[in-house]
Amino acid sequence: MIQIAGILFWLVIIPFCIGLLPAGFMPEDERKPGIVLLAGYFTMWAVFGLVTIPVVVFVRYDNFILASRCFMALAILGAAAGVWLTYRRRRFGRLREWMSFADCIREMSVAERIEWLLFLLLLGFQLYKAVAYASFDGDDAYYVAASLIAQQADTMYTILPLTGRHTGLDIRHALAVFPMWIAFVAQKSHIHATILSHTIMPLVLIPLTYLVYYEIGRILFGRPDRPAKSERSGENLPLFMILMAVFQIFGNVSIYTNETFFLTRTWQGKAVAGSLVIPALLWLFLLLYSGRKKGAAAERAGIWLLLVCVNITAGICSSIAVFLVSILMAVAAFCLAIVERDYKVLFKMGAACIPNAFYVLTYLIVGYGYLFKQ
């Protein structure tokens, strides 16, 4: 029971409550439970990165204890602040609509119900395979072992997972602290880090990824929760979800494809970067584009905040992901500036990439410093 309570608290309750903060500054029709949960995870990961990376760089001994305590305090404070601000502002007056799943199902056609059922079957199949037939690869010898060392030895990146010996800071892996977040959850929920990685994480990260795809599909193919332009608006959304699920299942044409990482290395940071972070950027770009013609700027502040958090999350997942998302941000900024004829977006996108610049600067300074010492 303690393990289940810990998992529910740190993987459901805390992210959702934290997500109430940025979601409260988003347009009212975007304050959905799924968006709140996504916002909470990206905000939580961003806070974890801002706390843990400096500790890894500047503290050598017992650094995991320090990072865990600081992050736990900030996470609980952020969750409490999200609940309190939501209650004070009454920003979620459409709570009844959150629970009207029966009405949504009743309004669907028979074909849509069958399509959604097919998607759920495909999703369930993937979850079952990911847990019952867990894949083990060579990278687990480093990433999962690094999580386990942090959980059991209370130290981060000072013990080499491949040999068990003490080592200097490995800059190639030290700034990508996603395994340390897994170690934190494992420690607080009293679950072995290996079990958490291979059994629990797929049940969390795979649905989160499809939640991002769902939000992308709502924008591209119509949103059933809004007044439709036609009676057939939004009926392509379940087909889009089915197509994405089929791509993921049959995308294992190489060990290097995103689909392979998504289903066989779900818990690894680089898999999260490719499967979750980059699609989340595309989702936020679509939100910014679709929201520029309506609503006040204050109601889009939450989207920009999420954009910053996603950029920081890319850094804790993989160092190379920082470069990838920065390039993607630059391309999106130029496209939006040309299409909307508003060149202020270039400066806004540039400001959202400031954490990426600090990350790269830290990587270069720390990396060259240790290189010169050797």
pLDDT of residue 369: 66
**Span 223-250, pLDDT tens digits:** 544 444 444 456 789 999 999 999 999 9
Phi first, then psi: give them for residue 159, nearest 5 degrees.
-120, 125
The ranges of the chain with pLDDT < 70 are 90-103, 222-234, 291-299, 369-374
pLDDT of residue 46: 96
pLDDT of residue 271: 93
pLDDT of residue 163: 83
Global confidence as pTM: 0.91
**Span 32-49, pLDDT tens digits:** 889 999 999 999 999 999
